[in-house]
Amino acid sequence: MNNPKRKDLGLLNYEGDVLKLFKTDNAELVIYDQWNCIAEVLDFEGFANFLDGRIDIVDSEGKSWNWLREHPDARTRLYKIFEYLNS
């Protein structure tokens, strides 16, 4: 059986996705950085804390990303995140 390509959603985009969201079958939310390394594995509450600006996600190069401090045009619209999480 072939594995389908991993379906993820870009969260922050600065001339390319710097953080991507991938939901697993066991309700984990995996955040990948622009080098395709796992930056964080969160549950829904942890992800909500990221979107609220309460926690930062640090990528594999040591860059810290805080959702609320990023430029609004770089952030994926919340309705697209909700659609992805509900799909």
- The per-residue pLDDT for range 14-65, each reduced to its tens digit, is 999 999 999 998 889 999 999 999 999 999 999 999 999 999 999 999 999 9
Enclosing domain of residue 81: 9-86
Residue 4 placed within a domain: no
Strand partners, 49: none
User: What is the pLDDT, as a whole number, of residue 57?
Assistant: 98
Strand partners, 21: 9, 31
Residue 58 placed within a domain: yes
CB 78 within 8 A of CB 9: no
Amino acid at 4: P
Provide the domain count of the chain.
Answer: 1
Residue 62 placed within a domain: yes
